Amino acid sequence: MIRVDALYRYPVKGFTPERRHSLAIQADGRVQGDRSLVFRFADALEPEDATYPKSRGLALMTFPSLARVVLTFDDEAQKLRLRVDDIDVEADLSESGRARLSEAVTAYLRTTSDATLLEADGILPLGLLGDGRTARFQDRPRGFISLHGAASVEALDAAVPAPVDDRRFRSNIVVDGAAPWAELEWGGRLRIGEVEFEVQKPIERCAAITANPDTGVRDARLLRVLTTAFGQEEPTLGILLLPVAGGGTVRVGDEVTPLS
């Protein structure tokens, strides 16, 4: 039987996930509170400018050292806490709080191998954009729910010397009980607990998956491994989903049933 093994939400684009017991799936196909904040570049002055922050804000694809930052977000108090090395900052989303958080992230990045990237025109000062509630800073114009199978990650882990786990792939839903790569064959509709989804397409992966989530160092050529060791035309792991109607709640332990 295929079941939901783990659920993740990403309050700030490009930073560490929160492991959740349940996720609220909105009717628009986004997870409530997912990627609701982003550290945008100085030249991304409007929210629309940072909607796709792989090019207009901090993202793991470009800044792998972000993987080391431990992030927690308190929905009720609307407070964000960032911890890494000797930096430990908690602040609300007021103007002064956002400035403190942006300064803390900048200070950390200056100590890393990614520091030179900050010197490009239009990067600094960073600004924290978003309301902490509205999911809006996904990689794609249309919000999606992302899912992958634990067995697929285990197969990839076995193919490389570096440690590979679910965190590299930043999916919302991880399922167990399916054969490796089985999720790539799912089409049509999929039921997870009380929510019915339509499978949209496989997820073509970017350089973000090469960053070790503990060290922030690129330590595995996973894009090449996916295409060579597993015979893929493009480096692919996981699928994108949209709710069929109305959204709902997905929980750890929910049964996963491909419908067609």
**What does the pLDDT look like over 34-52, one tens digit per residue?**
999 999 999 886 655 555 5
- Dist CA 22 CA 34 (whole Å): 13
Average pLDDT on 159-186 reads 97
- 3-class SS at 193? coil
pLDDT band at 139 (very low <50, low <70, confident <90, very high): confident
Question: What Å distances lie between residue 6 and 97, 204, 242, CA to CA?
Answer: 31, 21, 18
Backbone angles phi, psi at 204, to 5 degrees: -80, 125
Q: What is the maximal distance between C-alpha atoms in the chain?
A: 52
> What does the alpha-carbon distance between residue 142 and residue 92 come to, in Å, rounded to a whole number?
28
Q: Is 197 helix (H, G, I), strand (E, B) or coil?
A: strand
CA atoms within 13 A on the CB side of 259: 12
State the DSSP code for 255. B
Domain ranges of the chain: 3-31+139-258, 38-129
Whole-structure pTM value: 0.94
Beta strands in the chain (DSSP E): 3-9, 18-20, 22-25, 38-40, 70-74, 79-84, 87-92, 127-129, 145-149, 173-176, 189-192, 195-204, 236-243, 248-251, 256-258
85-99: average pLDDT? 97
% residues pLDDT > 70 (the chain):
95
Task: Give the pLDDT score at 56.
Answer: 85
Which of the listed ranges 52-56, 142-146, 184-188 does the model predict with the highest average pLDDT? Answer: 184-188
HSE (CB half, 13 Å, CA atoms) of 179?
4
Q: Look at residue 15 and tell me whether its pLDDT is greater than 80.
A: yes
CB of 256 closer than 8 Å to CB of 163: no
Q: Identify the pLDDT of residue 49.
A: 55
Q: Read off the amino acid at residue 200.
A: Q
Q: Among 27, 26, 22, which residue's Cα sits nearest to residue 8?
A: 22
Tell me what the mean pLDDT of segment 191-202 comes to: 96
CATH 2.40.50.200 fits 3-31+139-258, yes or no: no
